[in-house]
Amino acid sequence: MTVIASVDRSLDGTDPVLAGLIGEEFERQSGTISLIPSENYVSRAVLEAVGSVFTNKYSEGYAGRRYYEGQQVVDRLEPLAIERAKQLFGVEHANVQPYSGSPANLAIYLAYLEPGDTVMGMSLPMGGHLTHGWNVSLTGKWFRSVSYGVNRDTGRVELDEVRALARRERPKLIFCGGTAIPRAIEFAAFAEIAREVDAILVADIAHIAGLIAGGVHASPVGHAEVVSTTTHKTLRGPRGAILMCAADHASAIDRAVFPGLQGGPHNNTTAAIAVALEEARRPEFAGYARQVVANAKALAAALTGRGFDLVSGGTDNHLILIDLTNKQVSGKIAAKALDRARITTNYNTVPFDPRKPFDPSGMRLGTPAATTRGMTEPEMRQIARWIDEGIEAAKRQDETTIERIASEIRELTSGFPIPGGPA
Ligand SMILES: *Cc1c(COP(=O)(O)O)cnc(C)c1O
């Protein structure tokens, strides 16, 4: 057998074990409802681009300034992705090379801070991200980190508290945004605070980028010096990230990403990001973004109607954080029971959580993935019913009810197919 023949076999032929796993994962995704707010289903077009021959190419550097030859096509691809990001978000500069959201944020530290400098972000258990200075993260170990949270009564960020902390601690970098924030981020107010203390404001829009692109959340552009986003959450692209800024920050950001932090960009990811940005520009995408929020509001209302206690009392975006304390069940028990019932969520700390992070009081839900499948308000009300029944069943160890819900969900999901199945 020639070498060529051996690399030209299909996955099925080369590695049936792995092909089988992909098939099983497709079935799992098809037959369950993902309410994990950071997940989504990419289009077939995005999947094709991720799996394209761009994965073969090394391209350290930037267009026109590469360290490898053979960039005739990549040097058209990357500027296309950049141009689309600039258009979609209305920014002067974009870097599409960060491997994911965490390295994108690390590049920002490298661009603006020295080890030991002060960074301020939302604390992880209050809804921030690890990379905003949390203690187990490099960003909390190598930098001096101070954190703000939310108000105990309102469940919302208290800007006076943020301002007071910033004045006292004089951070060089301030992060706004996070991973478990059900309310709109007040970019203008954060910018005012950052200006007062001469800090650089970073808006981390990883969760809400698709909502901003779709016009249902305010944009940080013009307020934050740097905007960081993943591309795989509400934006519905491949796993990757984009850093955006005004022209005067462009070279600091670009140098930090390469050669500061990374080597060669993942060109296949860049290709898929370009596809996702093209999709996000279209009117259907704005419709999707509106429905993501409408679905979250419908789900929140239905859950509230069933006696669930939502942090901040509801949602402005795609995300709902339930405090399960009044239901006398832990987040982990609830999430694991719902997983058996074919609803995928994640257990999560709630602000001021008295329980441990590995078995916290809350559960985090989001509507982007279900919305991409075409689910709307009636399905959200049905999902709230299943969540309620599933959690009550878990409390009395009633696996029969959980199995009944699982089979009902199998039935429902068959009417909402996901892209990427066997051709
Ligand atoms: C998801 C997320 C990240 C990190 O993204 P990864 O791609 O998982 O590294 C960073 N910041 C926020 C706010 C996020 O939600």
230 C-alpha to ligand 1 centroid (Å): 6
* Residue 100, ligand 1, Cβ within 6 A: yes
Q: Which atom of ligand 1 is nearest to the CA of 100?
A: 7
Contact 360, 353 (CB under 8 A): yes
Mean pLDDT of 58-66: 97
Reply yes or no on whether 233 is catalytic: yes
**Residues 6+ away with beta carbon under 8 Å from 133:** 119, 120, 121, 139, 140, 143, 145, 146, 147, 175
Angle between helices 267-281 and 283-305 (to 10 degrees): 80
Contact 348, 180 (CB under 8 A): yes
Tokens for 202? Answer: 């970073």
* Residue 207, ligand 1, Cβ within 6 A: yes
Mean pLDDT of 218-228: 98
Q: What CATH number should be reported for the domain whose range is 50-280? A: 3.40.640.10
Q: Which atom of ligand 1 is nearest to the CA of 232?
A: 7
Q: What is the pLDDT of residue 4?
A: 73
Q: Which atom of ligand 1 is nearest to the CA of 128?
A: 13
31 C-alpha to ligand 1 centroid (Å): 26
Assigned fold of 292-413: Aspartate Aminotransferase, domain 1 (3.90.1150)
**Average model confidence (pLDDT) for the chain?**
97
Residue 7 scores a pLDDT above 90: no
Q: Which atom of ligand 1 is nearest to the CA of 101?
A: 5
239 C-alpha to ligand 1 centroid (Å): 10
Q: What is the pLDDT of residue 347?
A: 96
**Ligand 1 atom 15, closest CA:** 179
* Residue 177, ligand 1, Cβ within 6 A: yes
Residue 1 scores a pLDDT above 60: no
Residue 6 scores a pLDDT above 90: no
Residue 8 scores a pLDDT above 90: no
Reply yes or no on whether 58 is catalytic: yes
Q: What is the pLDDT of residue 357?
A: 85
Q: Where are the beta strands (DSSP E) in 13-143?
A: 33-34, 61-62, 65-66, 93-95, 118-122
Q: Which atom of ligand 1 is nearest to the CA of 204?
A: 13
Q: What is the pLDDT of residue 423?
A: 62
Reply yes or no on whether 395 is catalytic: no
- Amino acid code (one letter) for 265: P
Tokens for 138? Answer: 């490099």
Nearest CA to 383 among 351, 409, 358, 402? 409
Reply yes or no on whether 204 is catalytic: yes
- The secondary structure of residue 173, as a DSSP letter, is E
- Amino acid code (one letter) for 347: Y
The catalytically annotated residue of 84, 183, 233, 342 is 233
How far apart CA 88 and CA 215 sit, in angstroms, is: 10
How far apart CA 241 and CA 228 sit, in angstroms, is: 7
* Residue 206, ligand 1, Cβ within 6 A: yes
The catalytically annotated residue of 118, 230, 344, 349 is 230
142 C-alpha to ligand 1 centroid (Å): 19
- How do residues 281-297 score in pLDDT, each as one tens digit? 999 999 999 999 999 99
- The secondary structure of residue 260, as a DSSP letter, is I
Length of the chain: 423
- How do residues 80-92 score in pLDDT, each as one tens digit? 999 999 999 999 9
Reply yes or no on whether 359 is catalytic: no
* Residue 204, ligand 1, Cβ within 6 A: yes
pTM exceeds 0.95? yes
**Ligand 1 atom 8, closest CA:** 101
* Residue 129, ligand 1, Cβ within 6 A: yes
Mean pLDDT of 170-189: 98
How is 182-236 classified by DSSP, letter by letter?
-S---HHHHHHHHHHTTPEEEEE-TTTHHHHHTTSS---BTTBSEEEEESSSTT-
**Residues 6+ away with beta carbon under 8 Å from 47:** 272, 419, 420
The catalytically annotated residue of 84, 99, 118, 204 is 204
**Ligand 1 atom 6, closest CA:** 101
How far apart CA 22 and CA 17 sit, in angstroms, is: 9
How many Cβ atoms are within 10 Å of 296's Cβ, its own excluded? 27
Q: What is the pLDDT of residue 421?
A: 81
Contact 59, 205 (CB under 8 A): no
Q: Where are the beta strands (DSSP E) in 214-367?
A: 226-230, 241-245, 309-310, 319-323, 343-344, 346-348, 362-366
How many Cβ atoms are within 10 Å of 400's Cβ, its own excluded? 8
Instruction: Give the phi and the psi of residue 104 in degrees, each rounded to 5.
Output: -60, -45
* Residue 101, ligand 1, Cβ within 6 A: yes
Probe residue for ligand 1, chosen from 131, 228, 348 as the CB with the greatest number of ligand atoms within 8 Å: 131
Q: What is the pLDDT of residue 174?
A: 98
Q: Per-residue confidence at 2, pLDDT binned at 50, 70, 90?
A: low
Q: Which atom of ligand 1 is nearest to the CA of 177?
A: 13
Q: Name the least confident of 2-6, 17-21, 331-335, 406-410.
A: 2-6
Reply yes or no on whether 14 is catalytic: no
Mean pLDDT of 90-114: 98
Contact 227, 202 (CB under 8 A): yes
Domain extents in the chain? 50-280, 292-413
- How do residues 339-382 score in pLDDT, each as one tens digit? 999 999 999 999 999 999 889 999 999 999 999 999 999 999 99
* Residue 178, ligand 1, Cβ within 6 A: yes
184 C-alpha to ligand 1 centroid (Å): 17
* Residue 317, ligand 1, Cβ within 6 A: no
